[in-house]
């Protein structure tokens, strides 16, 4: 039979054990915090490839936006270049500001879908992007001793980290299409779907909101320099990254209001060059465009000065 004295002793024992565990956890995290706090700021440069999911190109063209991706949309002319500044707000979290310059490429000639190939449209879209992101680390790096000393053990190092991120931003984009002579011209001023005319859609803005999200892995070469690889997608608020959204507009009205070039770039169905029928399906207005990056980055972080504990 357990006496009240023994029961009280057991309670005290468990309280002491819990207190010890909490103190050990606090000290371990505190020791690591003293290190990661010194490396809050990080600068990175990126280079990589871009891709686009839009009305042009695509795989089998069965209406599945994310299943419509094809490697051909990431051509040698597709690229993404960027810089970022990151600030660690917690051991597992960071805030990051990005600036990217990219080119997105899509071409109906690359698709297996006959209807899209006959449509014969193409685009190269330049992107200027600004975004802010929140990062959460699933596997976090641990910064150990700066110097490896023989027979001296410190808080262990882990050079590898894995993180997820999401954010919000804005872009300026400029779609360009190829003429019959092979030159590229700006498409937005041509109003290829009759924007602003009777029965046509409203003129679209070349500014759009984006929601970037993705995942990245990073390897720290040393305390200051690291390399990272990111895969990310950008949901957008526009359907005009490729200048294609709804239906064909009357070609003669396009000529009357915007010139011959507008008619040429609006309808490039090469099996009947003189056919410019009104109302035919040109794109899918119910789907916003999406684009993505695959980038390799070089990172540099600098050590903050430790705050002095001497108070005068």
Q: Are residues 24 and 53 in the same domain?
A: no
Could you tell me the two tokens for 217? 């892995």
Q: Are residues 91 and 103 in the same domain?
A: yes
Q: Report if residue 309 sits inside a domain.
A: no
Is the distance from CB of 216 to CB of 138 less than 8 angstroms?
A: no
DSSP characters for 29-70? HHHHHHHHGGG-EEEEEEEEEEEEESSSS-SS-SS-SGGG--
Report how many domains make up the chain: 2
Q: Are residues 6 and 102 in the same domain?
A: no
Q: Report if residue 162 sits inside a domain.
A: yes
The label of the residue with tokens 């390897």 reads: 219
Q: Are residues 134 and 217 in the same domain?
A: yes
Q: Are residues 9 and 103 in the same domain?
A: no
Q: Rounded to 5 degrees, what are φ and ψ at 177?
A: -125, 160
How far out from the chain centre does Cα 67 lie? Answer: 18
Q: Are residues 123 and 18 in the same domain?
A: no
Q: What is the per-residue pLDDT for 65?
A: 57
Q: What is the per-residue pLDDT for 73?
A: 55
Q: Are residues 87 and 203 in the same domain?
A: yes
Q: What is the per-residue pLDDT for 101?
A: 98
The label of the residue with tokens 């600068």 reads: 43
- The 3 state secondary structure assigned to 109-144 is HHCCCHHHHHHCCEEEEEEEEEEEEEEEEEECCECC
Could you tell me which of 103, 143, 150 has the C-alpha nearest to residue 304? Answer: 143
Q: Report if residue 192 sits inside a domain.
A: yes
Q: What is the per-residue pLDDT for 288?
A: 92
Q: Report if residue 310 sits inside a domain.
A: no
Is the distance from CB of 81 to CB of 46 less than 8 angstroms?
A: yes
Q: Are residues 65 and 31 in the same domain?
A: no
Judging by beta carbons within 10 Å of its beta carbon (0-12, 13-18, 19+), is residue 170 exposed, middle or buried? middle
Q: Are residues 24 and 87 in the same domain?
A: no
Rounded to whole angstroms, the Cα distance separating 116 from 109 reads: 8
Rounded to whole angstroms, the Cα distance separating 253 from 208 reads: 28
Q: Report if residue 259 sits inside a domain.
A: yes
CATH number at residue 60: 2.40.160.20
Q: Report if residue 312 sits inside a domain.
A: no
Q: Are residues 91 and 120 in the same domain?
A: yes
51-to-42, 231, 232 alpha-carbon distances in Å:
27, 11, 10
Q: Report if residue 230 sits inside a domain.
A: yes
Q: Are residues 93 and 6 in the same domain?
A: no
Domain that residue 4 falls in: 1-39
Give the three-class secondary structure for 258. helix
Per-residue pLDDT of the chain (312 residues; tens, 9 = 90+): 445 555 565 556 556 656 655 554 444 444 444 566 777 899 999 999 999 998 888 755 454 555 566 665 556 789 999 999 999 998 889 999 999 999 999 998 888 778 788 888 999 999 999 999 999 999 987 765 555 555 545 444 678 999 999 999 999 999 999 998 889 999 999 999 999 999 899 999 999 999 999 999 999 998 889 999 999 999 999 999 999 998 899 999 999 999 999 999 999 886 566 565 566 678 887 789 999 999 999 999 887 765 555 444
Q: Report if residue 163 sits inside a domain.
A: yes
Q: Are residues 219 and 93 in the same domain?
A: yes
């Amino acid at each position: 039979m357990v006496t009240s004295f023994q029961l009280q002793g057991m309670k005290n024992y468990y309280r002491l054990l819990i207190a010890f565990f909490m103190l050990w956890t606090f000290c371990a995290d505190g020791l690591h915090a003293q290190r990661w706090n010194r490396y809050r700021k990080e600068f990175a440069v990126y280079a990589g490839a871009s891709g686009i999911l839009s009305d042009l190109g695509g795989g089998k063209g069965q209406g599945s936006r994310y299943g419509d991706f094809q490697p051909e949309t990431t051509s040698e002319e597709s690229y993404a270049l960027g810089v970022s500044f990151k600030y660690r707000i917690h051991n597992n979290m960071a805030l990051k500001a990005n600036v990217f310059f990219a080119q997105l490429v899509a071409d109906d000639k690359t698709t297996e879908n006959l209807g899209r190939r006959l449509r014969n449209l193409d685009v190269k879209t330049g992107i200027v992007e600004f975004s802010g992101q929140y990062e959460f680390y699933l596997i976090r790096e641990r910064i150990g001793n700066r110097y490896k000393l023989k027979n001296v053990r410190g808080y262990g190092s882990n050079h590898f980290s894995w993180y997820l991120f999401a954010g919000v931003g804005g872009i300026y984009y400029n779609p360009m299409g190829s003429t019959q002579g092979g030159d590229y011209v700006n498409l937005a001023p041509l109003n290829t779907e009759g924007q602003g005319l009777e029965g046509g859609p409203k003129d679209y803005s070349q500014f759009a909101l984006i929601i970037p999200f993705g995942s990245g892995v990073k390897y720290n070469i040393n305390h200051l320099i690291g390399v990272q690889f990111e895969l990310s997608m950008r949901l957008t608020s526009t359907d005009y990254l490729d200048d294609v959204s709804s239906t064909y507009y009357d070609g003669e009205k396009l000529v009357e209001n915007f010139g011959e070039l507008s008619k040429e770039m609006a309808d490039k169905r090469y099996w009947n060059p003189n056919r410019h029928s009104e109302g035919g399906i040109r794109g899918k207005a119910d789907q916003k465009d999406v684009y993505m990056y695959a980038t390799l980055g070089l990172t540099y972080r600098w050590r903050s000065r430790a705050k002095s504990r001497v108070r005068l």
